[in-house]
């Protein structure tokens, strides 16, 4: 394991894809190996960003206009970058993040038709040089995703959309992945199995060792 190698790893996918579960599994597996790592999420990941998260995710799915919704996500991202990501990068820690910029493109731009230039303009100002080294995209059968969502004890606004919307967003993720082949690692996670966890860990360990 190279001591000078640090990764910013993002997990992407629609609701019910298992990305949060797999992201936390990877975090625990790296901690067991004494690899310096933090786990964070979006929206959220810092005290102030978590407050915005609560505002975004509670209530009805049409609580905000699509532009307001997007601006809230971007505001939370700015707080997350300043309070969590930059300090972790300066301490040379590996970062595992549940959702990042590709979720905004897939959900807000492709899914809800928010103006792409608006998102790009804000990102230009808040991201600076921060970008993921590796993105794990978990694909899932839509029927399976709905089964997983149904079993959740608590549901947020983004658990309440219809199948067509989730399919549209998943197609957007795949489109984004094809444009960023070097960064993306795609896994079909439709079957509940510990094989996905093993495959992801193997990929990350190999990447850290290069």
Whether 3 is covered by a domain: the verdict is no
| N-terminal to C-terminal alpha carbon distance within the chain | 8
Judge whether 184 lies within some domain.
yes
- Chain segment 49-106, per-residue pLDDT in tens: 999 999 999 998 889 999 999 999 999 999 999 999 999 999 999 999 999 999 999 9
Number of domains in the chain: 1
Q: What percent of the chain has pLDDT over 90?
A: 90
Neighbours of 54 (CB within 10 A): 11
Domain extent, residue 75, equals 8-209
User: In 3D, which of 23, 16, 112 has the Cα closest to residue 62?
Assistant: 112
CATH number at 109 reads 3.40.50.300
- Say what the pTM is: 0.95
Within a domain: residue 173? yes
Judged by phi (left if over 0) then psi (alpha if -120 to 50, else beta), residue 16 lies in left
Tens of pLDDT, residue by residue over 7-52, are 999 999 999 999 999 999 999 999 999 999 999 999 999 999 999 9
């Amino acid at each position: 394991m190279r001591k000078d190698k640090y990764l910013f790893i993002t997990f992407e996918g629609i609701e019910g894809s298992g990305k949060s579960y797999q992201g936390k599994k990877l975090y625990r597996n790296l901690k067991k190996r004494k690899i310096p790592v933090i786990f964070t999420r979006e929206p959220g990941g810092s005290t102030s960003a978590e407050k915005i998260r609560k505002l975004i995710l509670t209530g009805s799915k049409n609580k905000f206009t699509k532009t307001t919704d997007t601006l809230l996500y971007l505001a939370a991202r700015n707080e997350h970058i300043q309070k969590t990501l930059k300090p972790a990068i300066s301490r040379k820690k590996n970062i595992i993040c549940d959702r990042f910029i590709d979720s905004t493109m897939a959900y807000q731009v492709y899914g809800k038709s928010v103006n792409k230039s608006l998102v790009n303009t804000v990102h230009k100002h808040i991201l600076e040089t921060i970008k993921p080294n590796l993105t794990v995209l978990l694909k899932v059968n839509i029927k399976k995703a709905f089964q997983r969502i149904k079993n959740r004890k608590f549901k947020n606004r983004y658990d309440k959309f219809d199948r067509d919307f989730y399919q549209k967003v998943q197609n957007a993720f795949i489109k984004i992945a094809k444009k960023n082949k070097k960064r993306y690692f795609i896994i079909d996670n439709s079957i509940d199995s510990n094989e996905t966890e093993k495959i992801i860990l193997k990929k990350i360990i190999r990447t850290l060792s290069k």
